[in-house]
Structure 1
């Protein structure tokens, strides 16, 4: 996107982003860029219904669906990053359906245009749902992403495409984005099509990074679909894999998805690892409270004499869910009326006439998310802090 982030007290924030040693090694006149990465994009049937409701109200969208209002709350953040990365959890179908929810997702392709409009540049497409509807749906998904101008990595339409590396030029820096996932036991990839899906493995990651570097990548960002659902702590396999990856590769940043809840962000062997960013947008059939909470990870890369200094910030998000009421009953006064992804800090800083229980819910999300993010010591030596920015 090449846009400049409008940070409050920019000089003070910059000074706070790096340690004294790192700051002193930042190259005078060196290149820099920002990366925003968010949690899972998981379009459940209730969100399709919301998009239909919003299309009637706005008169916009395509084929009777408008996802714009659902994600409008995070656009002021995502759109300011130089590189914004999303995680598309599921394949997309035809604009008019039919659509499917869990366990074999097929979601409206209209969500892709909204992701592009929000400010996302590229997405990981490797997940345990990649092959929910086979190679045909993989092709359809990537075709639709190409049509709206969204980059992608993690799945492929042909063996030749599977060997390509997603490299983007960001503020004059060649940045590679790699994506790997564990495979679904429900819909495993057929042996003859194993090339169409990137499976997690240290050696596979090493090979992909090597190819990226040979193609000129100066920074390599790795997305991993891993871990245990609904656990706020990384699993042993997560910890073991990231220990190997951060020791045996030159990957510059690791971004995690799949648990559907927030897990810590910390440095491992000097490399920032976001174990799980939670959900960016989802509406599980049995919301837990935790599954509505997510974070946008914000990473600033600054060129040094011998590589890159990376600092980390975060911004808490929450999916507002309307209360379920029986036919003829009325929702409580001040209750949420629509599914919306909100910027929690913005809501707390500018609550307007929100009722106390809504403010309390946003405060709970802020406090609880902070606890999970810091659970492995990031605020100490690592320097993870909340992102402060101006909204347009």
Structure 2
């Protein structure tokens, strides 16, 4: 134990003995990509064409709602039925998916993805308008309705802890921002990222970066992720939770390069979830590797402010998830892998696309990527 940690430990012990209440904690969870492929949308529609996606979250809602701060990567734009509900390759979701996200207990929705401009300016405008009118309590990051919004850094406060949340994407599938909305999507632009991190360091107690990055279907870490990890760390980020590869990737804790420093400086401790994989999807892929796309993760992190005012990660983990799909209405649900049975796996319609899909294969994927560090 270094000198500072020893002092903190002694101060905490004195506080406990003297009856001073312990510092408040903040529990944070985040899940990966919500990919509304056509079969998922069809599963949510009734005979009258009305949508309800609540059933998807029925097996994970308790974990989501229990968190102080619950975050989700909304892979596809929510432009509403008036823009035409569509799946891959140019996605557009009905507004009802947002209702389901709110009902499930999510507090923050990340929209900076490679599909953010699939429906152009109208898609971004409709999405922002929907959130503002239907769920103004939802913190929406990654897309913007003005330059002022783009220049701002979102900070949420939970239990007396101010948390900055930054969300960027590597690209938008070659689709340029509208000429009069160059600010529409937050990109992995180094100058902007550094400015945002500098602001976060000065105005928040803790900084979470949610980059849409990496290589699709690769369980490993690519060169771009390594580069950006260093940029985030140098800027003082404390927690990085990545999306986009559609498969799970490792979790890494990078220790402070100057022992004894607090978190609010460049080069401090940083926890990185390189990719949480898919949360919801019904991929059209077939053959080997399709099973991998059905496995996701829920990042679970607990923050606490110590007696000196530093906010630190005091606990972390990852909960393995599996997306269960069956034909028919309400046929999609995300399960914790710990609750998923061999019998359910035998009924998963993804077996029609990858006959090797089994519960054990899902377990093996998690063991291969995360070792035994999952629940």
* TM, length-normalised to structure 2: 0.82
Partner in structure 2 of residue 180 of structure 1: 168
Q: Distance in 2 between matches of 1:161 and 1:337?
A: 37
Q: Distance in 1 between matches of 2:10 and 2:144?
A: 40
Q: Distance in 2 between matches of 1:278 and 1:339?
A: 17
Partner in structure 2 of residue 244 of structure 1: 231
Match of 2:370 among 346, 355, 373: 373
Q: Distance in 2 between matches of 1:306 and 1:192?
A: 43
Aligned to 1:73, what secondary structure does the other structure show? coil
Which runs of structure 2 are paired with 1:1-392 in the superposition (5 Å)? Answer: 24=9, 27=12, 28=15, 29-52=22-45, 55=46, 64-95=50-81, 98-146=84-132, 147-148=134-135, 149-190=137-178, 192-214=180-202, 216-246=203-233, 248-269=234-255, 270-286=269-285, 288-304=290-306, 305=308, 307-310=310-313, 311-322=315-326, 338-347=331-340, 354=343, 357=346, 361-374=358-371, 385-387=373-375
CA 1:112–1:92: 2 relative to 1, 3 Å = same
Q: Distance in 1 between matches of 2:126 and 2:327?
A: 35
Deviation at 1:231, TM superposition (A): 0.4
Aligned to 1:277, what secondary structure does the other structure show? coil
Q: Distance in 2 between matches of 1:198 and 1:356?
A: 38
CA 1:97–1:194: 2 relative to 1, 3 Å = closer
CA 1:21–1:245: 2 relative to 1, 3 Å = farther
User: Are 1:37 and 1:85, in contact at CA under 8 Å, matched by a contact in 2?
Assistant: yes
Q: Distance in 2 between matches of 1:252 and 1:361?
A: 36
User: Are 2:33 and 2:73, in contact at CA under 8 Å, matched by a contact in 1?
Assistant: yes
Partner in structure 2 of residue 390 of structure 1: none
Moved over 3 A (4+): 20-28, 354-360
Deviation at 1:93, TM superposition (A): 2.2
Partner in structure 1 of residue 258 of structure 2: none
Q: Distance in 2 between matches of 1:193 and 1:298?
A: 35
Aligned length: 335
User: Are 1:22 and 1:309, in contact at CA under 8 Å, matched by a contact in 2?
Assistant: no
Per-residue CA deviations over 1:38-90 (Å, capped at 9, x if unaligned) read 010111110011101xx46xxxxx96111111221111111111100001111
Deviation at 1:95, TM superposition (A): 4.0
Deviation at 1:358, TM superposition (A): 6.4
Deviation at 1:26, TM superposition (A): 8.6
CA 1:312–1:101: 2 relative to 1, 3 Å = same
User: Are 2:30 and 2:70, in contact at CA under 8 Å, matched by a contact in 1?
Assistant: yes
CA 1:31–1:340: 2 relative to 1, 3 Å = same
Deviation at 1:344, TM superposition (A): 1.3
User: Are 2:79 and 2:124, in contact at CA under 8 Å, matched by a contact in 1?
Assistant: no
* TM, length-normalised to structure 1: 0.78
Aligned to 2:181, what secondary structure does the other structure show? helix
- In structure 1, runs of 5+ residues without a counterpart are 1-19, 57-61, 325-335, 380-384, 388-392
CA 1:66–1:249: 2 relative to 1, 3 Å = same
Of 269-278 and 189-198, the range deviating more from structure 2: 189-198
